[in-house]
Amino acid sequence: MPSQCVSKQTLQRLPTYLDYLKRQGTDPPKNISATAIADALNMNHVVVRKDLASISTSGRPKVGYDRVNLIRELEEFLGYDNADDAILVGAGKLGRALLSYDGFLQYGLNILAGFDTDPKAVNLEVGGKPILPMEKLEDLCERTRVRIGIITVPGDYAQAVCNLLIKSGILAVWNFANVHLDVPEGILVQNENMAVSLALLSNHLKERFSTK
Ligand SMILES: NC(=O)c1ccc[n+]([C@@H]2O[C@H](COP(=O)([O-])OP(=O)(O)OC[C@H]3O[C@@H](n4cnc5c(N)ncnc54)[C@H](O)[C@@H]3O)[C@@H](O)[C@H]2O)c1
């Protein structure tokens, strides 16, 4: 693999290529070129060629990439071949939806359990995952050495939950609460803010209509 360091934009496009390569029907081609992928996805040829070259050296001029090899390289690069365990805190509406979603394994994420303060939620099972009381969080983290924490509690509680996760050994936080989290150096936070995506969407629509 040529480079482990790619731009955020490239990283965000790689799952799209992988998804396309896997959806090739019953008689998929053995080889596929960056140009063919770009055409199929309606993307810029140069961008796709550069993205693929940054994660694979197996592309050959006039032949392209061996499709199966490229799928393996993309999965390896994205870490999908080796599932990371995670825990989730806040088993409410959004938390339960995430716990029930069985597609995460395909992306290398295995949610072990949910945690909640609500006695009515505790000890239920959602999507085959237990919802445990908060008192058990540190112990489970210590036993399983889980490194990813998902936060789906209301914003007012997110920082306290984040602090507890870090104290328990969590190194990466996937934050769905719409608040900024203060974390020490070395802890990674990925914010999932639907308001931001929505703002981009409406701005795009506005621009489109203002030119007509
Ligand atoms: N529901 C959505 O579609 C949606 C979409 C985007 C973002 N969010 C964000 O996700 C978060 C959760 O939203 P929701 O709609 O699922 O809320 P919810 O009220 O249904 O669920 C929140 C859960 O967190 C638990 N909780 C509260 N404080 C806690 C604490 N200190 N420790 C552990 N558990 C605690 C509650 O008992 C509850 O089960 C919010 O921050 C919200 O802004 C929700």
Residue 204's pLDDT band, with cuts at 50, 70 and 90, is: confident
Asked if the structure places residue 43 within a domain, the reply is: yes
Mean pLDDT estimate for the chain = 92
State residue 109's pLDDT score.
Answer: 93
The reply to whether 25 and 63 lie within a common domain is: yes
Assess if residue 63 is contained within a domain.
yes
pLDDT at 200 exceeding the cut of 90: no
CA distance readout (Å), 31 to 18, 70, 122: 14, 9, 51
Cβ(20)–Cβ(38) under 8 Å? no
Q: Are residues 69 and 112 in the same domain?
A: no
Distance, CA 68 to ligand 1 centroid (Å)? 40
In terms of domains, do 175 and 73 share one?
A: no
* DSSP 8-state assignment for residue 106: G
Among the listed residues 35, 37, 34, 31, the one whose alpha carbon sits nearest the alpha carbon of residue 54: 34
Residue 120 lies in a domain: yes
Do 56 and 133 lie in a common domain? no
Q: What is the mean pLDDT of residues 88-109?
A: 95
Query: Is there a single domain that holds both residue 71 and residue 130?
Result: no
The enclosing H or E element of 133 equals strand 129-133
63 shares a domain with 12 = yes
Amino acid at the residue 139: D
Last residue of a domain, one of 26, 51, 78: 78
Q: What percent of the chain has pLDDT over 70?
A: 97
- Structurally, the chain folds into a number of domains equal to 2
Asked if residue 88 and residue 69 are part of one domain, the reply reads no
Would 151 be classed as within a structural domain? Answer: yes
| Enclosing domain of residue 146 | 84-195
Does 183 share its domain with 114?
yes
User: Do 34 and 89 have their domain in common?
Assistant: no
> Which CATH number covers residue 66?
1.10.10.10
My answer on whether 64 and 117 are in the same domain is: no
Is 53 among the domain residues? yes
d(CA 34, CA 37): 5
Which one of 87, 89, 94, 173 would you pick to mutate in the ligand 1 pocket, going by the greatest count of ligand atoms within 8 A of its CB?
94
Atom from ligand 1 closest to the CA of residue 177: 41
Q: Which residues are annotated as a binding site?
A: 90-95
Of 4-18, 34-48, 84-98, 124-138, minimum mean pLDDT range: 4-18
Name which residue leads in pLDDT, 32 or 78: 32
**Residue nearest to ligand 1 atom 38, measured at CA:** 92
- Tell which residue, 105, 200, 122, 189, has the closest CA to residue 151: 189
State the pLDDT at residue 5: 79
Query: Is the CB of residue 191 less than 8 Å from the CB of residue 175?
Result: yes
**CATH code of the domain containing 173:** 3.40.50.720
Atom of ligand 1 nearest to the CA of 96: 16
The pLDDT, as a whole number, for residue 211 is: 62
Q: What is the pTM of this model?
A: 0.81
Q: End-to-end distance of the chain based on CA atoms, in angstroms?
A: 46
Structure tokens at 89: 């805190």
Residue 45 lies in a domain: yes
Atom of ligand 1 nearest to the CA of 91: 39
pLDDT given at position 83: 76
Say if 212 falls within a structural domain: no
Q: How far is the CA of 85 from the centre of ligand 1 (A)?
A: 21
Summarised one tens digit per residue, pLDDT across range 131-168 is 999 999 999 999 898 999 999 999 999 999 999 999 99
| Contact by Cβ (8 Å): 34, 70 | no
Better-scored residue on pLDDT, 113 or 23: 113
For residue 93, tell me if it sits in a domain. yes
User: Poorest-confidence range of 22-26, 98-102, 156-160, 176-180?
Assistant: 22-26
Q: 29 and 56: one domain?
A: yes
Q: Per-residue pLDDT for 212 more than 60? A: no
Q: For residues 126 and 188, state if they share a domain.
A: yes
